[in-house]
């Protein structure tokens, strides 16, 4: 997925994503819905930034990602955390947590409703009694403009990075193409990544939680306007 950009991911997203503020709000949310929460599993943890801040806030945090390079980066930042490389739809690590998180629209990588339900069932299997699942969704059908092009630039000592993002809508899948230009002392290198992400309506997200045996509430705003789905095992 992010094989080309794992080592520069934080450099790009630091331009516009406030992990510290998001993690503070997440911590407050988790403690509100599950005051006894101590252990957290961050699914699709990326480079482990949310993990790092939540650990500082007193949680024991482990992480999972499908991309091995992300797992390596996150493990360097979070040496006390356990890390796994796994597909979230078939998640089975034999552990249980007070909270399972899936943030920054990563849930959309499952692409289909059937895999969405399977993923939420897998999350439920990893919950302790009274545990909570927090999922940050992607956009729904008709909400994205395929003509939109985004450019992000960032720099570090000896390195300049530019990423141009293009969007294509293929039925119920949004295809993101990230084109990178990386300039350092050895010259300029170009790379491309393709990300296919499913487009689910709010009604479909709610239905998937219910089918997975979870009671769910929907926060329309969430961390940055994309909303949050907050699930607990149904009585």
The predicted structure's pLDDT at residue 4: 65
Nearest 10 degrees: Cα torsion 196, 202, 207, 209: 70
Per-residue pLDDT of the chain (235 residues; tens, 9 = 90+): 556 678 899 999 999 999 999 999 999 999 999 999 999 999 999 999 999 999 999 999 999 999 999 999 999 999 999 999 999 999 999 999 999 999 999 999 999 999 999 999 999 999 999 999 999 999 999 999 999 999 999 999 999 999 999 999 999 999 999 999 999 999 999 999 999 999 999 999 999 999 999 999 999 999 989 999 999 998 6
The predicted structure's pLDDT at residue 14: 92
Q: Is the dihedral of CA 200, 205, 207, 208 positive or negative?
A: positive
The predicted structure's pLDDT at residue 6: 81
CB 218 within 8 Å of CB 229: yes
The predicted structure's pLDDT at residue 3: 63
Q: Is 227 in a helix, a strand, or coil?
A: coil
The predicted structure's pLDDT at residue 20: 97
Domains of the chain in start order, with CATH, are 9-139+199-233 (3.40.50.150), 150-198 (2.20.130.10)
Q: Is 93 in a helix, a strand, or coil?
A: coil
């Amino acid at each position: 997925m992010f094989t080309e950009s794992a080592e520069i991911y934080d450099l790009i997203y630091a331009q516009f994503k406030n992990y510290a503020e998001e993690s503070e709000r997440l911590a407050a949310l988790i403690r509100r819905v599950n005051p006894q929460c101590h252990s957290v599993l961050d699914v699709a943890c990326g480079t482990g930034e949310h993990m790092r801040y939540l650990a500082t806030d007193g949680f024991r945090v482990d992480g999972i990602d499908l991309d091995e390079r992300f797992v390596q980066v996150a493990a360097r930042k979070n040496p006390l955390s356990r890390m796994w490389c796994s597909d979230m739809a078939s998640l089975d690590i034999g552990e249980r947590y007070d909270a399972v998180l899936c943030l920054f629209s990563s849930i959309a990588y499952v692409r289909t409703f059937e895999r969405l339900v399977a993923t939420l069932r897998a999350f439920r299997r990893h919950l302790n009694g009274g545990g909570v699942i927090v999922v940050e969704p992607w956009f729904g059908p008709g909400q994205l403009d395929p003509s939109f092009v985004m450019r992000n630039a960032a720099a570090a000592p000896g390195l300049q990075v530019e990423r141009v993002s293009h969007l294509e809508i293929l039925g119920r899948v949004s295809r993101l193409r990230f084109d990178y230009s990386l300039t350092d002392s050895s010259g300029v290198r170009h790379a491309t990544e393709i990300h296919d992400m499913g487009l689910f309506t709010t009604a479909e997200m709610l239905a998937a939680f219910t089918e997975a045996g979870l009671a769910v509430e929907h926060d329309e705003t969430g961390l940055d306007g994309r909303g949050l789905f907050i699930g607990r095992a149904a009585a």
